[in-house]
C-alpha cells in the first residue's frame, strides 16, 4: 500500500494571486498500486508539477482547473506522495506515473 494525500484548492476572483483556500480531502490514505494508476488516469490527475516529470517523491499531480462561471471560483485538486511512506515505496510512485502515461519512457 502507498500512502497519498489529495488536496482541493479553491481560488476566488477576490483572492490575491498567491492566496488560495482549501485543504486536505484525504491525508495519508492507503491505496493500492492499481487504484493509484486508476486515480491518475480516470480522475484527471494528469498535470505534473514539473516538466519533464521524473517521478520523484517531491513531484505531485494536479487536475485541470474547473471554473464555476457563475461565481468565478476556480477549483483544482492535487495528488501528493506522502512522506510517511516506507522508503521502499518511492519507486512505485514513479512506476504509477509511467503506467498512467504521465512519464514517457523510450523503448
Structural domain that includes position 39 = 2-99
The gap from C-alpha 47 to its chain's centroid, in whole angstroms, comes to 8
pLDDT tens digit sequence for 3-34? 999 988 877 777 655 555 666 787 888 999 99
pLDDT tens digit sequence for 52-75? 999 999 999 999 988 888 888 888
Residue 62 placed within a domain = yes
Q: How many domains does the chain have?
A: 1
Give the 3-state DSSP-derived string for the chain, with helices as H, strands as E and coil as C: CEEEEEEEEEECCCCCCCCCEEEEEEEEEEECHHHHHHHHHHCCCCEECCCCCCCCCCCCEECCCEECCCCCCEEEEEEEECCCCCHHHHHHHHHHHHHCCCCCCCC
Residue 105 placed within a domain = no
Residue 106 placed within a domain = no
Task: Indicate yes or no: pTM above 0.85.
Answer: no
Residue 107 placed within a domain = no
62 - beta bridge partners? 47, 78
Amino acid at each position: 500500500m502507498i500512502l497519498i494525500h489529495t488536496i482541493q484548492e479553491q481560488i476566488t476572483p477576490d483572492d490575491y494571486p498567491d492566496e488560495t483556500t482549501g485543504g486536505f480531502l484525504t491525508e495519508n490514505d492507503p491505496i493500492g498500486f492499481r487504484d493509484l494508476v486508476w486515480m491518475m488516469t480516470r480522475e484527471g490527475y494528469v498535470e505534473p508539477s514539473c516538466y519533464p516529470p521524473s517521478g520523484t517523491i517531491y513531484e505531485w499531480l494536479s487536475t485541470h482547473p474547473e471554473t464555476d462561471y457563475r461565481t468565478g471560483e476556480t477549483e483544482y485538486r492535487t495528488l501528493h506522495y506522502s512522506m510517511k511512506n516506507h522508503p521502499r515505496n518511492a519507486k512505485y510512485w514513479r512506476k504509477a506515473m509511467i503506467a498512467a502515461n504521465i512519464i514517457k519512457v523510450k523503448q
